Amino acid sequence: MGSLIFLGSAYGQGKSGDTIQLKPIQVAPHTYFVQGFPEMGSSANQNFISNAGFVVTPGGVVVVDALGSPILAQKLIAEIKKITPQKIVAVIVSHYHADHVYGLQEFKKIGAKIYAQGEGRNYLSSETAKQRLIASRIDFAPWVNSNTKLISADVWIDQKTKLSVGGVDFFVSRVGPAHAPEDLMVYVPSEKVLFAGDLVFRGRIPFVGNADSKGWLIALDEIEKLNPNIVIPGHGNYSVKPAEDIAFTRNYLKYLRESMAQAAINLDPFEEAYKQADWSEYEGMPLFRAANRMNAYNVYLSIQAE
């Protein structure tokens, strides 16, 4: 425990320019989350652009996602220690995107068991993952550096799994390919809380990347069937009206597909289709400029490949 607090202070408030604080928000009797900024990752924000959450049980703490840099994971561990003396026993990875996994090594150091969906193995061994980490060591320095490693799961999940910790059940479902090939969602029935990863975005333009938008829409239907009281998304504030926030992500994906489909099928130029689309509903949202054009182009390409 002492070494973790020391690491937090050595890397944290003692290091000039570190003003990033994590403030866990309680959303259910034993469930908390921390909310990342609606920004692109940078050195200034330590790549704190995604959410992480945790559930305190009598048998230990279960964390969902590990944040975008080791320093953030250290801070999250320190915040959990303020809330409970229970050990962190498990980390469930919603998907292997950099902003959710660069903190994993800190949880590994304290003995937590890491769970992820089996398709994550393909990402870990990919050139994409390797190059992304090389770039991140520059883009997010000094918070992501040569000591930052990609961490494999201890347990790879390939089908719906029930993880029980301290009498609390965590239903871990494989969904997708959707936002990523290795998407998982985690439902905690006793809390009526669903950790949706990047299947649900709030308050910012979703990141579509090389997502399977068709599979993503099916995954959103699966989330609705669970009928949770609370949804903790991968980005943005927690949702107490899940149907409304699922609708935002669904409508955005549907509009991308509708506005790009004809041009994609007819092999018409992307530029013309993009110019003709009406983006007025989304233009004022955070990350529209950074993500929307790329999202549309990726959907245009993926429709051609369907």
In this structure, what CATH number is given to the domain that contains residue 80? 3.60.15.10
Residue 111 pLDDT grade (very low, low, confident, very high; cuts 50, 70, 90): very high
Beta carbons of 102 and 136 less than 8 angstroms apart: yes
Q: What is the mean pLDDT of residues 59-76?
A: 98
DSSP letter assigned to residue 120:
H
Q: What is the mean pLDDT of the chain?
A: 93
CA dihedral 256, 285, 177, 274 (to 10 degrees): 30
State yes or no: pLDDT of 6 exceeds 60: no
Residue 16 has pLDDT above 70, yes or no: no
Which residues, in sequence order, are CB contacts of 167 under 8 Å at separation 6+? Answer: 57, 58, 59
For 93-120, what is the mean pLDDT?
A: 97
How many residues would you count in the chain?
Answer: 306
pLDDT of 275 above 50 = yes
* CA distance to 161, 263, 301, 302, per residue, from 266 (Å): 42, 5, 12, 14
183 three-class SS: coil
Q: Per-residue pLDDT tens for 224-262?
A: 999 999 999 999 999 999 999 999 999 999 999 999 999
Tokens read off for 49: 């652009």
Q: Which 3 state secondary structure label does DSSP give 84? A: coil
Output DSSP code: residue 170: E
Determine the average pLDDT of the residues in 150-165. 96
Structural domains counted in the chain: 1
- In this predicted structure, what is the pLDDT of residue 210? 87
Report the 10 Å Cβ neighbour count for 157: 20
Predicted confidence band of residue 9 (pLDDT cuts 50, 70, 90): very low
Q: Where are the beta strands (DSSP E) in 5-49?
A: 25-28, 31-34
Reported confidence tier of residue 168, pLDDT bands at 50, 70, 90: very high
**197-226 residue pLDDT tens:** 999 999 999 999 889 999 999 999 999 999
Average pLDDT over residues 100-125: 97
- 4-32 burial string, b = 16+ CB within 10 Å, else e? eeebbeebbeeeeeeebebebeebbebbb
Predicted TM-score (pTM) of the model is: 0.92
Structural domain of residue 246, as residue ranges? 2-305
